Structure 1
Amino acid sequence: MEHRQSAASALLARIEHYWLMPVACLVVWWSMLIAMLAVWAGQGRPKYVYEGEDAAVPYISDIAASAGMQVLFITGDAVQGLFFILTLWAERYLRHNGRLEYHFRQRENTISAMAIAFGMIGQLGLVLVAVCRVDRYKAAHYYSVGVFVAGVGLAAACSSVEFTWLRQSYPEVRWLRRSYKLKLVWFTIAFVLATVFLFNTFTNNADVGASVEWILAFWYGAFIIILAVDLYPAAKAVDRFDDKDGRLDCVEAVPEKARPRGYPFREPTLSYNLDGSTCFDICE
Structure 2
Amino acid sequence: MAFNIATLWAMLITWLATGRPHYVSQESGQNIAFISDVGADILKPLFVVTCCITAVCFVLSLVVERYLRHSGRLMPNMRTRERVLSSLAILGSIIGGAGLILLSIFDTKRHPTLHNCFLLVFIVGVALSAIFSILEFRWISKDFQHVKRLKRSYRMKAVIAAILIALAIAFGVTLFTAANVAAVLEWTIAFGYTFYLLTFYYDLRQSKGVHKGELNADRLKESPRYRVDQAA
TM-score, normalization: structure 2? 0.90
8 A contact 1:160–1:179 mirrored in 2: no
Structure 1 counterpart of 2:72: 98
Structure 2 counterpart of 1:47: 22
Deviation for aligned residue 1:141: 0.6
Partner-residue secondary structure (3-state), 2:72: coil
Mark the CA change 1:121 to 1:251 in structure 2 (over 3 Å): closer, same or farther. Answer: closer
Matches of 2:6 and 2:224 in 1, distance apart? 37
Aligned counterpart for 2:32 among listed residues 28, 42, 57: 57
Matches of 1:89 and 1:236 in 2, distance apart? 20
Matches of 1:92 and 1:139 in 2, distance apart? 35
Mark the CA change 1:56 to 1:234 in structure 2 (over 3 Å): closer, same or farther. Answer: same
Aligned partner letter, 1:133: D
Structure 1 counterpart of 2:95: 121
Partner-residue secondary structure (3-state), 1:261: helix
Aligned partner letter, 1:224: L
User: Which residues of 2 match residues 242-261 of structure 1 at below 5 A?
Assistant: 250=216, 260-261=226-227
Partner-residue secondary structure (3-state), 1:101: coil
Unpaired stretches in structure 2, ≥5 consecutive residues: none
Mark the CA change 1:249 to 1:54 in structure 2 (over 3 Å): closer, same or farther. Answer: closer
Mark the CA change 1:251 to 1:64 in structure 2 (over 3 Å): closer, same or farther. Answer: closer
8 A contact 2:34–2:183 mirrored in 1: yes
Aligned counterpart for 1:226 among listed residues 192, 199, 202: 199
Aligned residues: 229
Mark the CA change 1:251 to 1:85 in structure 2 (over 3 Å): closer, same or farther. Answer: closer
Is the counterpart of residue 169 in structure 1 residue 135 in structure 2?
Answer: no
Matches of 1:154 and 1:169 in 2, distance apart? 23
Matches of 2:215 and 2:77 in 1, distance apart? 16
Is the counterpart of residue 75 in structure 1 residue 49 in structure 2?
Answer: yes
1:12-50 CA-partner distances (Å, limit 9, x unpaired) = xxxxxxxxxxxxxx1121111111112222322211241
8 A contact 2:48–2:105 mirrored in 1: yes
Mark the CA change 1:150 to 1:258 in structure 2 (over 3 Å): closer, same or farther. Answer: farther
1:175-217 CA-partner distances (Å, limit 9, x unpaired) = 22222222221121112111221111111x1211101110011
Give the structure with the larger helix fraction: 2
Structure 1 counterpart of 2:3: 28
What is the RMSD of the two structures over their aligned residues, measured on CA atoms? 2.3
Mark the CA change 1:248 to 1:216 in structure 2 (over 3 Å): closer, same or farther. Answer: closer
8 A contact 2:134–2:157 mirrored in 1: yes
Structure 1 counterpart of 2:86: 112
1:118-137 CA-partner distances (Å, limit 9, x unpaired) = 00100100011101111221
Aligned counterpart for 2:166 among listed residues 186, 192, 210: 192
TM-score, normalization: structure 1? 0.75
1:224-248 CA-partner distances (Å, limit 9, x unpaired) = 12111111110131xx35xxxxx76
Partner-residue secondary structure (3-state), 2:206: helix
User: Which residues of 2 match residues 132-211 of structure 1 at below 5 A?
Assistant: 132-203=106-177, 205-211=178-184
Aligned partner letter, 2:195: A
8 A contact 1:101–1:258 mirrored in 2: no
Partner-residue secondary structure (3-state), 1:202: coil
Matches of 1:46 and 1:166 in 2, distance apart? 49
Is the counterpart of residue 215 in structure 1 residue 188 in structure 2?
Answer: yes
Mark the CA change 1:171 to 1:56 in structure 2 (over 3 Å): closer, same or farther. Answer: same
